[in-house]
Structures are given as C-alpha cells and as structure tokens.
Amino acid sequence: MDKFEGRITSSGFESGDRVVIGDWAQSPLGPFTNIMWAQPDGKRVLLSPSKAHADYVSELYNFEEISIVDIEVQRQKRGIDVSAGPLSVSYRWKRGMSIPLIRPRWFIATIENFFAGLLYGTKTHGLTCNGLREWYCIRGISSLRSAKATHEGGDLGEMRPFEVTACFGFSEPPKKPSSVRVRSMIESDDERRV
C-alpha cells in the first residue's frame, strides 16, 4: 500500500484555469510538491519536480502535457505559495474543520464517499487510470479566503469555483475553492493480484 500524507489545495480562476497543488509531507517518493493544471481549453498539465515523480503520478492520472520544472514552495500557517515553471500560485485558507479519527477503508469507500459527493461534489474512493484502487481519508478541510495565480506574468483573475470538472482522474477537487488535509492510500500491484 502506497501512502501519501499531505494537503491538496485547489481553486478555479476567472480565466477558466483550474489549479490543484499537491503538497506531500510523506510519500513513497519522499516529500514533494506538484501542480495539476487544467487550462481553459481542457488541456491537463502536470508540473512536476522530477521525472521519477512525473512517471509515478502520470500513471495514476490523466494529462496531455507533462513538464519537469523547478518548484519553489513557501508555506505559511494557513497558506502556500508555489512557483513552478511558468505558473505562480498563492493560496490562503481559513481555519476550517479538523477530522482527527482515521477511518477504515470500507468506511471511506462507502459512507464517506457518499457524503463527499453530496456535500463537496467529489469522491473519496475509486480506480486510478492504471486500475489501482485509491482511498482518500480526509483529515481536515478549509475554505480558501484568497487565491492568486499568474501564468508567465499574466494574472488569471479572481478566485472561482470549479464550474467545469478538471477530469484528472476518478475524483475531482471540491467544487468550492478549498484546502484539504488528506491521507491518500493506493493499493500496490501485488495487492491487486491477490
């Protein structure tokens, strides 16, 4: 079982861009930060810190373009600033709600999955693009209070909900701009064969 511990922060923008920052404190590849970026024309871009990270993530999710770029990250108590190649993103979030208990995978796949869809328009369980089962155990969720992004210096405009899905994989970020503390669990190929 591959486990990722970290935070997924996402927002749509007035330009039609949708930007998801994955900031992972623990993962099978060590700590890393990447960006999944859905552009207004529907092109899905992965901005990744290395080929190893890009290879791993691109097997799980859908992208038309993958770029290996220098990624600079600055973290605040309730905020993150990321510079990744042509894209710079700054998110700030409110205090939010914490969920201290770790739930079993059956609960995440059934009850939690139902309420995640009902309340946030997202899923906590499904299949990755290469056919592995994945579970998202939500540890906390906060609404964004601000979101700013520039592409090659051009402002992407005001923060907006995800009005159009990004279609990176089986799950979408919450429709409302949010920052989610999460544990992601992905079964291994060996588990799939059992």
Q: How confident is the model at residue 164 (pLDDT cuts 50, 70, 90)?
A: low
Q: How confident is the model at residue 181 (pLDDT cuts 50, 70, 90)?
A: very high
Where b means 16+ CB within 10 Å and e means fewer, 59-74 reads: ebbebeeebebebeee
Q: What's the pLDDT score for residue 190?
A: 55
Q: What's the pLDDT score for residue 168?
A: 87
For 86-108, write each residue's pLDDT tens digit: 999 999 999 999 987 889 999 99
Q: Do residues 174 and 141 make contact, with C-beta atoms less than 8 angstroms apart? A: yes
Q: Please tell me the number of Cα atoms within 13 Å of 92 on its side-chain side.
A: 3
> Measured at the alpha carbon of residue 158, what is the angle toward residues 142 and 173, in degrees to the nearest 5?
40
Q: With residue 177 as reference, give the H or E element that holds it.
A: none
Tell me which residue of 38, 3, 9 sits closest to 141, measured CA to CA. 9
Q: How confident is the model at residue 189 (pLDDT cuts 50, 70, 90)?
A: low
Q: Which residues have a Cβ under 8 Å from the Cβ of 98 and sit 6 or more positions away?
A: 139, 140, 181
Q: Does the model's pTM come out above 0.75?
A: yes
Q: Do residues 115 and 127 make contact, with C-beta atoms less than 8 angstroms apart? A: no
Alpha helices (runs of H) in the chain, residue ranges in sequence order:
51-60, 105-107, 113-120, 189-193
| Residue 151 DSSP symbol | E
**pLDDT mean over 56-60:** 92
Tell me which residue of 90, 182, 183, 170 sits closest to 141, measured CA to CA. 182
For 116-136, write each residue's pLDDT tens digit: 888 888 899 999 989 999 999
**pLDDT mean over 7-13:** 96
Full set of structural domains in the chain with CATH: 2-193 (2.40.370)
C-alpha distances in Å from residue 153, one per residue of 85, 108, 150, 171: 11, 40, 5, 30
